[in-house]
Structure 1
Amino acid sequence: MVLDALKKTYETTNVFIDRAGKWNIHPADLKFFADYAFIALHGSYGEDGSVQRELEDHHIPYTGSDSLASALGMNKFLSLRLFRDAGLRIPHTLLFMRSAWCNDSKRIIQKTLHYLHFPLVVKPNREGSSVGVSIVKNKEELAEAFGNCFSFSRDVLTEEFIKGREFTCGVLDHGWGESAYALLPTEIIPRVSHFFDYRAKYEIGGSFEVTPPVGLSRTIMREIRDTAVRAHRLIGASGFSRTDFILDENGKLHTIEINTIPGLTGESLLPKAASAGNISFSELIEKIIHAALFRYGKNFDF
């Protein structure tokens, strides 16, 4: 869908990167094919700053956040600590390394239960699309969740489970942090899971989204939007981002994580929120491109 939108205005060249990180066009050669790279990748390689560093090393301008902001956004533990230090409310969170788990798994479980109580959340620290996220209710499920996450992730988070309503809020900017502004928030109501996990995100009918949310006070609506903008600025995001929240049963808003490359399909949350604000998909893509042009100090007349 991104490619179709780009083709309306620009000459495009497809660049594919396989799971091993191999490019079908070497980054050093991209300058012969394109003026700019539009990044629409997902997964660790596309979102953790790796692709961005490759492009930076070869002096190729690109859309979205730079390598540092991308890496920070992908690292849930570090970004949450940054948010907490800035005064945002976050879940109580612990970080464990695979080496510690392999050396003494019982101690990891004991430490988790010393600080957190069931039910609790286990998730990889640096994965997107809610891959590997689970809610556990006892020691057996906790051990299984740790084992599953450590099978593909070197660091894993445990978090307090916060019962409440799930929201997400997209942010756009014009190429610099102070220009950031929030789109309308979206409430996510999972249908196939207890929370917005991988199945709820990608199965047809896996979730029900409402933009803007129904029955939400103006004060909470404003808090969600303001906090999304703050999160965007705090990690140095550029162009666009999307931040997830939970509003607990006492009306307190908790920041869960930020996504520096939100989905850009017709069914993705950011384009739907943009549409609710009368921004078409093509206009959204143009806004992302022009933010990148401004960031690099260029004003191309296409």
Structure 2
Amino acid sequence: MQSKKLRVLVLGGGPSVEHEVSLRTAQMIYEHLDRALYEPRLATITKDGAWLIAPFPPLGEEEAVSKIKSVADIVFVALHGEYGEDGTVQRLFDKHGIRYTGSGPRASFVGMHKLLSRDRFRAAGLLVPQGIGISYTLYDRAQNDVVKLIARNFSFPVVAKPADRGSSIGVSIVHALSYIERGLHNVFHYSPLALTEAYIHGREIACGILEDENGNTAALPPTEIIPRKNIFFDYESKYADGGADEITPARVSLAIQARIQEAAIAAHRAIGCRGYSRADFIWRPETDQLFVLEINTLPGLTKASILPKEAQAAGISFPHLLDRIISSAIETEVRLQ
């Protein structure tokens, strides 16, 4: 007798500024789930928080979650940014006993919060760029003191970025102290918490991680990123056609590739990620230093995304990649019970 297909709710959208990217990730997942194994259903959270799950009318959060078990066995979380990537929706699903892909609420929160994740990386023996966190409340109250603090602690250029957002939204490279206020204002447009970091000159490299159904962790071939649209891998470079050259495997020695892969596994474990992740690095050849910039607990799965390209380089097709992510989520739940 043919086994029952797994009902998968692919959830995209959400209230963050990454709404459109999330929709593309969700559509890509929905189109490539193997219909011999799954019964996929596409669902969307609108920007104003309404959940659109057929065959129901638009629902509020609690009501929507109460309906999910009637139409799905597992949720494939395709959300990006706040709400979907910061542990909020994961806490909601845990509360209602709903299975979902990716990391749990704590790892999601820490991974999204760059100040917290930096602490975890350092504790794991990984290098991070020098950095200072600045809240909007502090900046608004003592703007001149904040500027002086940055001047004392950094040589320019520096990177100003939101401490709790993704896809390089709100990130800028500030080349002189006279422009730092503009950089911080740009950050505070997206988040009340800024991170200023030393700008590391080097080669930008990303490395994805996959867990199997037994919880074993393996690193994919690293990808070297060469931005074309702008001088760093910003939002436009990530998602626009021709925004960046992404070379997989990275054009570094096998020894450096292995170091990057080991560091990506260490970052994944330091945050407590589950299923899959992607860590971003800067390798400085002159000093042979490898700096971890951040980790993505829900890396993009669009046509332009890095993780599917790395999986392909490792001989893992996109449908098989989705199988791996789903199987890992199911087996992780079994192990945690």
TM over 0.5: yes
TM-score range, shorter chain: over 0.9
Match of 1:297? 334
- Asked whether the equivalents of residues 175 and 238 of structure 1 are also in contact (C-alpha less than 8 Å), the reply is no
Deviations 1:181-219 (A, max 9, x none): 1000000000111111111101110000111122x1222
The answer for the alignment partner of 2:324 in structure 1 is 287
- Aligned residue type for 2:49: G
Per the alignment, residue 118 of structure 2 pairs with: 80
By how many angstroms is 1:175 displaced? 4.9
Q: Which moved further from structure 2: 9-18 or 38-47?
A: 9-18
Match of 2:283 in 1: 247
Query: Is 1:196 the equivalent of 2:226?
Result: no
Structure 1 segments, 4+ long, off by >6 Å, are: none
Shift of 1:91: 0.3
Q: CA deviation at 1:7?
A: 5.4
Determine the structure 2 residue equivalent to 1:62: 100
Question: 3-state DSSP class of the match of 1:38?
Answer: strand
The 8 Å contact of residues 117 and 271 in structure 2, kept in 1 or not, is answered as: yes
Whether 2:256 is the aligned partner of 1:220: answer yes
Q: Which residue of 2 aligns with 1:205?
A: 242
> What secondary structure, in the 3-state scheme, does the structure 2 residue paired with 1:212 have?
coil
Structure 1 residues 169-188: aligned runs within 5 Å: 169-175=207-213, 179-188=216-225
Which aligned pairs between 1:1-302 and structure 2 lie closer than 5 A?
1-6=28-33, 8=35, 9-25=37-53, 26-175=64-213, 179-214=216-251, 216-248=252-284, 249-297=286-334
CA contact (8 A) 1:64 1:238 kept: yes
- Which letter does structure 2 place at the counterpart of 1:197? D
Matched residues in 2 for 1:100 and 1:126: separation?
A: 17
Indicate conservation of the 8 Å contact 2:239/2:304, yes or no: no
Cα drift, residue 39 of structure 1: 0.5
In the alignment, the residues of structure 2 paired with residue 150 and residue 265 of structure 1 have an alpha-carbon distance, to the nearest angstrom, of 28
- Give 1:86 deviation, angstroms: 1.7
> Aligned pair in 2 of structure 1 residues 176, 91: CA closer, same or farther (>3 Å)?
farther
Alpha-carbon distance, 1:176 to partner: 6.2
Bigger RCO of structures 1 and 2 (CA < 8 A, at least 6 apart)? 1
Deviation at 1:263, TM superposition (A): 0.7
1:235-293 superposed Cα distances (whole Å, 9 cap, x missing partner) = 11011000000011322100110000011112210000000111000000000000001
Give, in whole Å, the separation in 2 of the partners of 1:175 and 1:102: 49
Aligned partners of 1:18, 1:292: CA distance in 2, in Å? 25
Relative to the length of structure 1, the TM-score reads 0.95
Does the Cα contact within 8 Å between 2:170 and 2:189 map onto a contact in 1? no
Distance 1:22 1:185 in 2: 38
8 A Cα contact 1:263 1:270, kept in partner: yes
CA root-mean-square deviation: 1.3
Note the C-alpha offset of 1:29.
1.2
CA distance in 2, matches of 1:228, 1:167: 11
SS of aligned partner of 2:41: coil
Question: Which consecutive residues of structure 1, in runs of 5 or more, have no partner in the other structure?
Answer: none
In the alignment of these two chains, the number of paired residues is: 296
The amino acid that maps onto 2:29 is V
Kept in 2: contact 1:189–1:208 (CA 8 A): yes
Q: Is residue 21–residue 45 contact of structure 1 (8 Å, CA) maintained in 2?
A: no
Report the residue type matching 1:4 in the other structure.
Answer: E
Q: What is the CA distance between 1:113 and its match in structure 2?
A: 1.4
Unpaired runs of 5+ in structure 2?
Answer: 1-27, 54-63
Single out whichever of 281-290 and 147-156 deviates more from structure 2: 147-156
Aligned residue for 1:12, secondary structure, equals strand
* Partner SS state of residue 292, structure 2: strand
Q: Which has the higher strand share?
A: 2
Residue type at the aligned position of 2:32: A
Separation in 2, partners of 1:31, 1:297: 18
% same residue = 43
Question: Which secondary structure does the structure 1 equivalent of 2:74 belong to?
Answer: coil
Distance 2:95 2:42 in 1: 20
Contact 2:129 / 2:197 at 8 angstroms: preserved in 1? yes
